[in-house]
Amino acid sequence: MAPLIHVVYKVLLFLQDAPFFLALLSCLGFVLLLSSVFGLLGFFRRHLRSGKSLSRYGLKDGAYAVVTGASDGIGKEYAKQLAQKGFNVVLVSRKLDSLDVAVTEIQGRLKKQVTLKAIASDLSQGAEDAKNQLDQLNIDVGILVNNVGISYDLPAPYHELPLERVRAMVNLNVTAAAELTHWALPKMLDKKRGLIINVSSGSSLVPAPFLAMYSATKAFVNTFSEALAYEYRNSGIHVEAVTPFHVTTKLSKIRRKSLTVPDPAAFVRASLAKVGSGGFLNNPWFAHDVMGSVLALLPHSRAVSLVFGELKTTRKRALAKKAADEKKADAEKKTK
């Protein structure tokens, strides 16, 4: 420790005789301080500020909310809570039987008279079929929630990801959102109002090694949403991406909720209450926003390294569990 203190002392003596370097360091320190202050102010503004009223998006006109990936998890909650607020809803998902179950469940909990419609379409094969079915409905679209998505079964190096999963990830996480947004915008522009919520992920905030493809597709969602937010902000249309970390869904494979892992109902409730409070990028769940803010404060390489270490540990545990399950299954076969 003593040699280090001596070195620091010598450096400080040197800087005293070098005003340029001192000025440079002072400027850098001031910039970092300002950045931290503005980041902190933005954080509190997001959580103290009320969101936009959803009624401005065609509630009184009988407008529809279109929700993809709506048969389960976050998507079903968006459909349910928007219906509870009085919006008509079109639920889009791959399997009609799952959609019918979701529609029946939502309908049974409604106190308001709304119309629920279901469209079965496999968006992993493209969005053309879904757009054609939506056109046949001839609806007034007030809200679009691009929620459908797919991730990895477990964290893995990119070359181990099946090519079919790579293509499905692009179609579900990128193409579906891009094409359905392209379909909805002219209808919203005609009415001079609209809301587009693109469900992104905390994995989009920094590159996520072992979830490289998923992280990259969700980063697209953020960039896409930001650009559109600026393009249409004077047209009565609000576009934002929400960036949840873990939520208790089939996608995350987490069942127990906690302060940092909300269930879909709590997350969506916060999302709809905070629409617009965070600009184009919104993380309405307080604990998730804390996590994202910490990552933003870290040097980029440090943040990526931290995520890499966490996912490396997750992968190790997942592989161990998979091996144990396979061993147990083999043992059970031998006893029969």
pLDDT value at 175 more than 80:
yes
Residue 88 in domain: yes
Do 138 and 198 lie in one domain? The reply is: yes
- What pLDDT, on a 0 to 100 scale, did the predictor assign at position 313? 95
Number of helical (H) and strand (E) elements in the chain, helices listed first: 11, 7
Burial class (CB in 10 A: 0-12, 13-18, 19+), 146: buried
Amino acid at residue number 196: I
Residue 23 in domain: no
Do 146 and 233 lie in one domain? The reply is: yes
Catalytic status, residue 312:
no
> Is residue 335 very low, low, confident or very high in pLDDT (cuts 50, 70, 90)?
confident
Question: Do 114 and 88 form a contact (C-beta atoms < 8 A)?
Answer: yes
Beta bridge partners of 141: 64
Q: Which residue range forms the structural domain that includes residue 253?
A: 51-294
Percent of residues in the chain assigned helix, strand, coil, to nearest 5: 60, 10, 30
pLDDT value at 314 more than 80:
yes
Q: Within 10 A of 138 (CB to CB), how many other CB atoms are there? A: 6
Do 260 and 318 lie in one domain? The reply is: no
- What pLDDT, on a 0 to 100 scale, did the predictor assign at position 295? 87
- Pick the residue with more confidence: 95 or 112? 95
Spatial neighbors of 35 by CB under 8 A, at least 6 apart, are none
- What pLDDT, on a 0 to 100 scale, did the predictor assign at position 172? 97
Do 150 and 290 lie in one domain? The reply is: yes
- What pLDDT, on a 0 to 100 scale, did the predictor assign at position 45? 63
Share of the chain above pLDDT 70, in %: 85
Residue 17 in domain: no
Residue 321 in domain: yes
CA distance 324 to 319: 9
CA-wise closest residue to 282 among 66, 181, 273, 215: 273
What strand order describes the sheet that includes 116-120?
Answer: 116-120, 88-93, 64-68, 141-146, 194-199, 237-242, 281-282
pLDDT, one tens digit per residue, over 243-277 is: 999 999 877 778 888 888 999 999 999 999 999 88
Do 178 and 224 lie in one domain? The reply is: yes
> Is residue 285 very low, low, confident or very high in pLDDT (cuts 50, 70, 90)?
confident
> Is residue 128 very low, low, confident or very high in pLDDT (cuts 50, 70, 90)?
very high
Share of the chain above pLDDT 90, in %: 67
pLDDT value at 7 more than 90:
no
Do 187 and 301 lie in one domain? The reply is: no
Do 221 and 101 lie in one domain? The reply is: yes
- What pLDDT, on a 0 to 100 scale, did the predictor assign at position 283? 84
pLDDT value at 96 more than 70:
yes
Spatial neighbors of 257 by CB under 8 A, at least 6 apart, are 248, 263, 266
Burial class (CB in 10 A: 0-12, 13-18, 19+), 256: exposed
Do 178 and 270 lie in one domain? The reply is: yes
- What pLDDT, on a 0 to 100 scale, did the predictor assign at position 1? 47
**In the predicted model, what is the mean pLDDT of residues 32-46?**
56
- What pLDDT, on a 0 to 100 scale, did the predictor assign at position 298? 86
Residue 214 in domain: yes
Catalytic status, residue 191:
no
Question: Do 79 and 65 form a contact (C-beta atoms < 8 A)?
Answer: yes
Residue 43 in domain: no
Residue 35 in domain: no
- Containing H/E element for 282? strand 281-282
- What pLDDT, on a 0 to 100 scale, did the predictor assign at position 277? 80
**In the predicted model, what is the mean pLDDT of residues 72-83?**
96
The number of residues in the chain equals: 336
pLDDT value at 25 more than 90:
no
Do 229 and 310 lie in one domain? The reply is: no
Do 117 and 215 lie in one domain? The reply is: yes
pTM: 0.85
The DSSP bridge pattern shows strands 116-120 and 141-146 to be: unpaired
DSSP letters spanning 206-264: S--TTSHHHHHHHHHHHHHHHHHHHHHTTTTEEEEEE-----SSTTTT--S--SSS--H
Q: Which of 85, 214, 250, 321 is catalytic?
A: 214
Do 218 and 305 lie in one domain? The reply is: no
Q: Which of 76, 78, 152, 218 is catalytic?
A: 218
pLDDT, one tens digit per residue, over 180-205 is: 999 999 999 999 999 999 999 999 99
pLDDT, one tens digit per residue, over 271-284 is: 999 998 877 888 88
CA distance 302 to 298: 6
* Inter-CA distances, 101 with 120, 122, 270, Å: 13, 17, 25
Burial class (CB in 10 A: 0-12, 13-18, 19+), 239: buried
Query: What's the structural domain count of the chain?
Result: 2
Sign of CA dihedral 51, 55, 56, 59: positive
The CATH number of the domain holding residue 173 is: 3.40.50.720
CA distance 284 to 205: 15
Residue 13 in domain: no
Do 235 and 307 lie in one domain? The reply is: no
